[in-house]
Chain A
Amino acid sequence: MTNEATVELLSRLLDGDVSAVERERIEERIETDAETREIYEGLRRVRSSLGQLADAAPPAYLGAMVHRRVALEAEKVGLRSRLERRLHWLLPPMLLPAFAVVLALAAMFYLLANGLARYERAHEPLILSAPPGSARGPEVVEIDSRVFVREGSRWLESDLTPAAVATARQRRVRPDEIAEWARSRPRLAALAELGVVVVELDGEIVELVFETGSD
């Protein structure tokens, strides 16, 4: 059985790439072993046939095609270098890193400002104005970043659960207390304007009923 090493040696013998010792050994084997001789003859024929493929000549029009593509490439390269030269004239190469930093900062600032504005817009309460001529007021109001939604004749803080609202303790706030509210809770005093409002106050859900002087 002829192994890979023998085939490699036979292949090298064809190229004259063997030492004297290797040559002697492999030539003796070719002489005595029919399988090795057959492989050697096969390799020799392959090599000889491949040698005949060496005369493939390029078609005459290939040169014109290559030169046309190269001319297009040269034009592209020329255009690029003209642009680069113009850019260098407008902006010296030394200033390019500084320009890049300024550009990056400007982009970051724009994105941040834009993002913040979007975020704020997304959290703005929806203030629905009543249709013209309607006696109804707005359906949603915001007081000190807390959003209240109208439900019938009362206002509910929007993030309260219905169950909590249902069990809310009612607390009436008299006119004199309202004045006190304006002092002690100035940020929530505007609730008095709404009349009846369910709100979480000091950890408790209460329905505040603001009494007017006429009640």
Chain B
Amino acid sequence: MSKKGREDASGNDREANDVQALTATTIAHDRDLVTRHLYGDPAAFDEVYERFSALVFRLARRMAGDEALAEDLSQEIFLRIFRYLENFRGRSSLETWVYRVSINCCRTRLGRRWRRRRVFVAVEDERLDQMPAPVEGTEARLERREAAETVGRALAQLPLEFREAVVLRDISGLAYDDIAAVLGVRIGTVRSRIARGRDRLRRLLVEGDG
């Protein structure tokens, strides 16, 4: 092996070791947090809220489709986290566990709501193909923002199973295997749901045929 090759290999090893060390530190910290919560340390839950409030709200906001329901959902999710944090066994990261609790809460709350709402609301006037080109500038940014909100409204119309996969991937930025762990499905199912969810959004926004 050449000198450069040896350096690359040693760099990769270092990187892998760093990731491993970081994961171990996070897991240890998560366990410590749960133990403190079990022993009644109120600061432990405060820390959980600080760490995950943005993540939970973002997920709830896009799953629910409206701000008020998202706030309500976020409260319920944190209440569940508070109740069941003692059940966290550390088999996954605390973040994955929080995502799982959040998704289950959304399913419980939105499942019935979705089935009730059978009428598909097309957003024909606000089509994706009318989105402005990504030119910087206040006006362009506002327009892009508006177009993104249109996508957000369309997202709220997706069936729950597609919506949760798309939200976890494109908004929360989770990797496919993490999404599979959160949803409790195979990675192939995750790929399929994301693709079908995105495609439905595309059809809805471009063709308006839902």
CB of B145 closer than 8 Å to a CB of A: yes
Which of A37-45, A147-155, A201-209 lies on the face that meets chain B? A37-45
Q: Which residues of B contact A56 (CB under 8 A)?
A: 57-58, 61-62, 70
Q: Please pick, from B71, B75, B151, B195, the residue contacting A53 in the complex, using a CB distance under 8 A.
A: B151
The main secondary structure of chain B at its interface with chain A is: helix
Complex CA–CA separation, A74 to B78 (angstroms) = 13
CB of A12 closer than 8 Å to a CB of B: yes
B53 adjacent to A63 (CB under 8 Å): yes
A-B contact count (CB 8 A): 118
Complex CA–CA separation, A59 to B70 (angstroms) = 11
B205 adjacent to A12 (CB under 8 Å): no
Question: In the complex, which residues 37-55 of chain B have their Cβ closer than 8 Å to any Cβ of chain A?
Answer: 42, 45-46, 49, 53-54
Which of A2-10, A95-103, A107-115, A171-179 lies on the face that meets chain B? A2-10
B75 adjacent to A57 (CB under 8 Å): no
Question: In the complex, which residues 133-170 of chain B have their Cβ closer than 8 Å to any Cβ of chain A?
Answer: 144-145, 147-152, 155, 166, 169-170
CB of B31 closer than 8 Å to a CB of A: no
CB of B198 closer than 8 Å to a CB of A: yes
A42 adjacent to B151 (CB under 8 Å): no
Give the interface centre of B62, B147, B198 by most chain A CB atoms within 10 Å. Answer: B198
In this complex, how many residues of chain A approach chain B with their Cβ under 8 Å: the count is 33
CB of B79 closer than 8 Å to a CB of A: yes
| B42 CB → nearest A CB, Å | 8
A11 adjacent to B191 (CB under 8 Å): yes
A57 adjacent to B128 (CB under 8 Å): no
Contact code string A164-187 (vs B, CB < 8 Å = 1, else 0): 000000000000000000000000
Given contacts A46-B198, A50-B151, 10 further A-B contacts (CB under 8 A): A8-B191, A10-B195, A49-B150, A53-B151, A56-B62, A58-B57, A58-B71, A62-B53, A66-B74, A73-B79
**Residues of B with Cβ closer than 8 Å to A?**
42, 45-46, 49, 53-54, 56-58, 61-62, 70-71, 74-75, 78-79, 82-83, 128-129, 131, 144-145, 147-152, 155, 166, 169-173, 176, 191-192, 194-196, 198-199, 201-202, 205-206
**Residues of A with Cβ closer than 8 Å to B?**
4, 7-8, 10-12, 15, 17, 39, 42-43, 45-47, 49-54, 56-59, 62-63, 65-67, 69-70, 73-74
